[in-house]
Structure formats: C-alpha cells, structure tokens
Amino acid sequence: MNQTNLIKPVLDHEYPLITHGKGIYLYDEQGKQYIDGSSGAVTASIGHGVQEIIDAMAEQSKKVSFVYRSQFSTEAAEKLAKKISEISPGDLNWSFFVNSGSEATETAMKVAIQYWQEKGMKTKNKIISRWMSYHGITMGALSMSGHITRRQLFEPMLEKYPSVSAPYYYRDAAHKTIEECDDFYAQELEKAILRAGKDNVAAFIAEPMIGAAGGALIPSDQYFQKMKAVCDEYDVLFIADEVMTGMGRTGKMFGMEHFNVIPDIMATGKGMSAGYTPMAATIVSEKVMEPILNGSKIIMSGHTFSANPQSAATSLAVLNYIEKNNLVENSARMGAYLKEKINELARTSEIIGDVRGKGLFVGIEFVKDKLTKKSFARELDVVNKIVQLNFDEGLLVYPANAGAEGLTGDAVILSPPLTITKEEVDELVRRFAMALGKVERELLGELSKS
Ligand code: PMP
C-alpha cells in the first residue's frame, strides 16, 4: 500500500473507488465486497448506510446547515451537549464541539493550561504524555504524542514535553508482576512531574487503551487509579483521550469506565458521529470550568465549524442509535466472542504473539518468535503485508505500531462496527485466518531464505 494520500482529480485513481456501504460491508466499483473490520480507523461504529442517520441529516439540512458558533446556538448543538453530559461520567458536563480528534485533544490541552492561568498559576503549562501514544496530527496534539514515525519530520518544531512509559505488560520484562509494573509507571510519572517542577505541569494525557501507537494496549484495573493518585498529589489535571475508545467501542460507553477513574477533561471524536459527518468534542468537568466561568468565561479556542448544526444533529442521531440498539452491550458481547476466536487462531499460529482488547477493540501483535517475543525486522514491513493480504481477502484491518516506544513491532486492531452479529464475526475471522495462513507461508519462506 504505497499510494499517495492526496487526491488527484482524475479517474485513474490509485485506491479502489468505493461506491457504497451497508452495515459492516463496503463495496468498490469492481463489485468487490470488504468487511470493514476496522470501522475505517475505529470510526464507522454503527456501520454504513443507516437510514435513521441519513433521515436525521436530511431533516437538519432542511432546517439549517450552518450558523457561526460565535453568533448563534442551535437546537441540534444544545441537544447534543445535553446527551453528552448525560452519558459522560461524573461531572463532565460541558462540551466544546470541534471537527476532529486532533482538535479535541488540542483543545483539551488548551483548556488545561487555561484552567491554571485563570487560577493565577501562569507557569503550569507542560503536558506529560506517554512514549507510546497518539493524540493527533496538529502541532499541539503531536507535541503530546509519542508516535515516533508521525513526529519525525516535525521534531524540531514540537514542544519538548516529558514522556513516561506506557503499560505494556507483554514487553515489560523488567518487572515480575503487573502490580510491580504499575508501581513503576506511577513512580515514573511522579519523577517526571518533579523533574519538570510541579508548578510547571498542567496535565497528564493518556488514551484509556492505546490504539495507533500500540495496537490496543489494555492497562490493569489498578493502573489508572495509581496514575490519577499521582496527578492529584501534584495538582496535575488528568485528560483522557477517548477519541478511539469512546462511544461504546470497548464495551462501555467510555474506556475510562473500565477503571473507575473520572478524568478532569475528555477528548472524543471518531465514533461520536460514526463517520457520517466530522464531529468531535472536548468534554470538561465542572471543577475545570469553575475558574474559567469566573474569569474569561469562554474557552480560548474556536473553529469556523465548531458545533456545526449538521454535524451535531448527525452525532445526536448516532448516539441515540447506539443507545436504542444496545450497541455498547453488543460491543462487549461480540468483542469477547471475537477475542476468543482470535485466541483460538493464536494457539496454532506461529506468529501471533499476543491477543488483547476489550469489547470490539481487539489488538493482535505479531512476532518472529513466540517464546522470546522477538519482533520481525523493520525491513520486512510485516504489518503492511498483513494489512494487504487481509485487504485481498476482503477484510480491512487497522495497522498499529507496537514494540519498544512504538519503533519496532507489528500489530493490527480489529474494531468492526458495534452492530456486528455473531455470523458476521465468524465470516470476519474466516477471512482473517485465510490472510494469516498466507502471511505465515510468505514470512516463513522469507525467513528460511535469510
Ligand atoms: N486521539 C486518538 C487516540 C486517535 O486514535 C486519533 C486518530 N487516530 C486522534 C486522537 C486524532 O483524531 P483525528 O484523526 O480525528 O484528528
């Protein structure tokens, strides 16, 4: 898959041209059918072509498609804000609507800094993140991201924020138990805060489960409690990046609900509008809003399309659809079934080293040697081979980095629409197994040559 990602306005395009989608399936102009096994980067969470959503979009566009947020509010935006506040944990009641996950995390960062500014603490402006993380592509979001390949080109222009380890138990050979690992991660965070100076650190940001930079890395039940305790001790806000894990993806409405920790600020996107329109949000707690409401009143951010009524109406319809069809529960149930099926394959596979995940957010890490957990050489580009062979079988899987600091290692994420049925999971696994067989034959052939 070496195509460019720009679109040239001619019809000899390099990517297959998708003509339509229905449920978990996409179809190209040659009539080939693909299972959207990744929901297109963990986004199309209710599947394609849902009539109810299309109707809601049409309904809103008959009323009004755009007003400028700095002048007007709309019923669609107000209703969406109410819904978000109802489904969010704790007192995360305030929504700031943006258009992408990157804008949502970047706004979260700005809100955290603004919070301390309003409280008169002008130097509290650094954000601590983890080496294996992805929080978005804009310069602020990228400054908080440990995604090495995406940073490379822009490194000199990025903020030098402190980074700590991610909970990657599969490869944490330095500690004997998960408890020891978690204690180490919490101590590392404490040291990073002390090194930067507690009066200089505004927030710690983390994905509840690491996506693009790790391949669905799942922390222990205690990890976030220990990390949050350190944050609280040093007056550091906690931002949860729920862009991938939010809106039912992991079998709960938000990923953090698995860990009984309530963030101060949350960023969400992707599944929030399931790809029908761009929509994302920064969700802010009462605690964080208080000094802002008593001070500047407004969040120092804003985009032309913030709270776009068309997107707000769509997102509201998506969230209602998730609720009405019990898709969070389906995600938990079908996710467990999918993981069980992949674990069955892993038992006989020579190259599946680790299967992990919660709900329909399942990560699979591939290794050269299951015993030593040694990764394949970078030059073999195993992850892209796997993605391509699955693509050939008519299954879309999401490539993720894995390995030390996201530099080495190959993982994919399976994250089909939350609507998936048991029969559809079986078909997905059948295609995955076919591709896996081919990958194994190809790789073992190449390894025996080398
Ligand atoms: N945060 C996380 C956890 C993500 O996975 C992503 C996108 N992969 C982003 C932020 C950025 O979202 P977007 O691509 O919509 O800007």
Domain boundaries, the chain: 18-49+326-449, 52-324
For 247: left if phi > 0, alpha if psi spans -120 to 50, otherwise beta; the answer is left
Residue 113 has pLDDT above 70, yes or no: yes
CA 104 / ligand 1 centre spacing (Å): 9
Atom number in ligand 1 closest to CA 280: 15
Pick the atom of ligand 1 nearest to 102's CA.
16
Ligand 1 atom having least distance to the Cα of 278: 15
Residue with the two structure tokens 């509840």:
208
pLDDT band at 253 (very low <50, low <70, confident <90, very high): very high
State whether residue 167 is helix, strand or coil.
coil
pLDDT at 403 over 80: no
What average pLDDT does range 315-323 have in this prediction?
98
List all residues 6 or more positions away from 423 whose beta carbon is below 8 Å from its beta carbon.
Answer: none
Judged against a pLDDT cut of 90, whether residue 237 lies above it is answered with yes
Ligand 1 center from residue 135 Cα (angstroms): 6
The residue contributing the CA closest to ligand 1 atom 5 is 244
Distance 188 CA to ligand 1 centre (A): 25
Q: What are 175's two structure tokens?
A: 């500690």
Compute the distance from residue 205 Cα to the ligand 1 centre, in Å: 13
Domain spanning 18-49+326-449: CATH 3.40.309.10: no
State the distance from the centre of ligand 1 to the C-alpha of 273, rounded, in angstroms: 14
Ligand 1, atom 14: nearest CA belongs to which residue?
A: 101
**C-alpha 151 to ligand 1 mean position (Å):** 14
Residue 2 pLDDT > 70: no
Q: In the prediction, which pLDDT does 4 show?
A: 72
- Count other C-beta atoms under 10 Å from residue 374's C-beta: 14
Query: For atom 12 of ligand 1, which residue has the closest CA?
Result: 101
- Backbone φ and ψ for 405, nearest 5 degrees, come out as 50, 30
Sequence length of the chain is: 450
Which range of 12-16, 181-185, 366-370 scores highest in mean pLDDT? It is 181-185
Kindly state the helix (H) or strand (E) to which residue 311 belongs, with its residue range: helix 309-324
- Ligand 1 pocket list (CB less than 6 A): 41, 100-102, 105, 134-137, 207, 211-212, 241, 243-244, 269
Q: 176-180, 202-206, 401-405: which has the minimum mean pLDDT?
A: 401-405
| Nearest to 317, CA basis, from 420, 247, 241 | 247
State the pLDDT at residue 362: 98
CA 152 to ligand 1 center in whole angstroms: 18
- Mean pLDDT, the chain, rounded, equals 94
Q: How far is the CA of 437 from the centre of ligand 1 (A)?
A: 31
Helix axes 327-348, 422-449, angle to 10 degrees: 30
- CA 101 to centroid of ligand 1, rounded, Å: 5
Give the distance (Å) from ligand 1 centre to CA of residue 259: 21
Same fold, 18-49+326-449 and 52-324: no
| Position 151 pLDDT exceeds 90 | no
Query: What's the 275 CA to ligand 1 centre distance in angstroms?
Result: 13
Secondary structure tally for the chain: helices H, strands E: 13, 14
Q: What is the interface pTM, i.e. ipTM, of the complex? A: 0.99
Nearest ligand 1 atom to the CA of 100 is: 15
Q: Residue 177 gets which letter from DSSP?
A: S
CATH of domain 52-324: 3.40.640.10
Q: Are strands 237-241 and 201-206 parallel, antiparallel or unpaired?
A: parallel
Contacts of 369 (CB under 8 A, 6+ apart): none
Which atom of ligand 1 is nearest to 211's Cα?
Answer: 5
Among 42, 151, 270, name the best residue to mutate to test ligand 1's pocket (greatest count of ligand atoms within 8 A of Cβ): 270
Instruction: Out of 31-40, 149-158, 223-232, pick the least confident.
Output: 149-158
Instruction: List the residue whose alpha carbon is closest to atom 1 of ligand 1.
Output: 135
Q: Ligand 1 centre from 272 Cα, in Å?
A: 12
Per-residue confidence band for 47, with pLDDT thresholds at 50, 70 and 90: very high
Whether 52 has a pLDDT exceeding 90, the answer reads: yes
pTM: 0.96
